[in-house]
Amino acid sequence: MRHKPKFCNATKKSVVILISGRGSNMQALLEADLPCCRFAAVISNKADAPGLVIAERHGIATQVVAHRDYPDRESFDAALAAAIDRHQPDIIVLAGFMRILTPGFVAHYQGRLINIHPSLLPAYGGLDTHERALKDGIKIHGCTVHFVTSDLDHGPIIIQAAVPVRADDTPETLAARVLREEHRIYPQTLRWFCEGHLSLDADGKVLLNRYKQTGHTLISPGLE
């Protein structure tokens, strides 16, 4: 049975994606059914990022703004912003972009800059989230999509997905389980934004007018 193609009832939103490496979340976005999104460009701070090749295969314009070519974070961010602004994006998506952005850069894109992080924020901001979670013996781990602010990994939360932590987990097996959820919730976030259902108000509160609360309790390990 053939599915009818989906159409966009709103003006398409322009999207710029920033990457530093393989771009698996970028690929998930490009391969999702997002008719209200127009991917204008993929920009990397590393010329050898494998994600650039994937973007080109999808017919997306690519560009490299190498951070090593600039003497400090401010000058790099200025060059990066100039590259982004040429595409006049409605939203900028960080998909494994491994640079800490300056407050001025973040303020320039307030309400239009989102990131995905491999933990249930505000727990385990920063790096090595899976190793730290296993060391602490937590039972539920996951991932978070949030608006970016100058407070690293602590911007307003849009959506989260949780997974159980198993007794035999390694950082690699836990990361793989979390990554599968990342590939589900990041396209959902972008769909909400491009369809006009997601925004950030003047007080920094997430507004999501199609949010559906499931009401289910997640317990891990399960009760007998």
Residues tagged active-site: 117
Instruction: Report how far apart, in Å, the C-alpha atoms of 102 and of each of 25, 105, 109, 143, 150 are.
Output: 23, 5, 11, 23, 7
The answer to whether 200 touches 207, Cβ cutoff 8 Å, is: yes
Q: Are 28 and 183 in contact (CB under 8 A)?
A: yes
Tokens encoding 111: 């309400």
Judged on CB neighbours under 10 Å (0-12, 13-18, 19+), 213 is exposed
